[in-house]
């Protein structure tokens, strides 16, 4: 099988690392070769962050390059727009519709771009957008945006609900398990 590529993008602090950990676990359990590449250190501080998840028979490079991503899971709509170029022809973007103003917008140096969903779709890209923040809050905490988006992503994979739930159990603390399971199902049904 040719290597498949999933990019997880967002704003530092949004919980992208947990999403990649969960994906890594489920893909490993299915017998794939897997590589997950993370960003630590300075760029985590509220900056634009990206995590790469790659799987297949044999994976070499830990990173995903322009035009290679089968899926981009974005925690914030501006970040989806930023990384569009990394999507493969025919790839899919799953995005949270939430807007988080970057510092240049906060200080008035530039405007937050408008109608990004429409502009991304105009490129002929399959864009699957949900309000993951509201769904996460509905599940019990705004921090569950990552699991809501994993629920949405799960619709594009053949794995069973049990596979996903096992991976969630291995990735979150027991006291938040029920909340996260709920968040996953809300994302899946959205």
Shortest Cβ 77–other proteins spacing (Å): 11
DSSP alpha helices (H): ranges in 66-115? 77-83, 103-106
Print the binding letters for residues 129-168 with other proteins: x by CB under 8 A, - otherwise.
-------------x--------------------------
What does the angle CA 82 – CA 72 – CA 127 come to, to the nearest 5 degrees?
85
* Interacting residues with other proteins between 80 and 119 (CB under 8 A): 81-82, 84-89, 100-113, 116, 119
Q: What does the alpha-carbon distance between residue 69 and residue 90 come to, in Å, rounded to a whole number?
A: 10
* 37 vs 188, beta carbon nearer other proteins: 37
- The Cα 85–Cα 154 span in angstroms is 23
Shortest CB 184 distance to other proteins, Å: 20
Cβ-in-10-Å burial (0-12, 13-18, 19+) of 109 comes to exposed
Nearer to other proteins, 111 or 158 (CB): 111
Residues binding other proteins (CB under 8 A):
11-13, 24-25, 28, 33-48, 59-63, 65-68, 78-79, 81-82, 84-89, 100-113, 116, 119-120, 123, 142
């Amino acid at each position: 099988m040719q290597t498949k590529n999933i990019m997880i993008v967002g704003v530092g602090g949004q919980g992208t690392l947990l999403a990649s950990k969960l994906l890594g676990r489920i893909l490993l359990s299915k017998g794939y070769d897997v590589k997950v590449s993370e960003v630590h250190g300075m760029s985590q501080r509220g900056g634009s962050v990206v995590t790469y998840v790659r799987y297949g028979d044999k994976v070499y490079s830990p990173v995903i390059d322009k035009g290679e991503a089968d899926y981009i899971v974005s925690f914030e709509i501006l970040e989806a727009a930023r990384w569009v170029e990394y999507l493969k022809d025919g790839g899919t973007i799953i995005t949270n519709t939430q807007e988080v103003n970057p510092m240049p917008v906060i200080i008035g140096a530039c405007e937050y771009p408008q109608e990004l969903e429409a502009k991304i779709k105009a490129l002929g890209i399959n864009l699957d957008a949900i309000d993951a923040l509201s769904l996460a809050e509905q599940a019990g905490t705004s921090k569950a945006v990552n699991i809501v988006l994993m629920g949405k992503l799960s619709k594009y994979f053949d794995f069973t609900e049990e596979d996903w739930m096992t991976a969630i159990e291995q990735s979150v603390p027991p006291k938040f398990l029920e909340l996260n399971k709920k968040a996953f199902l809300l994302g899946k049904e959205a």
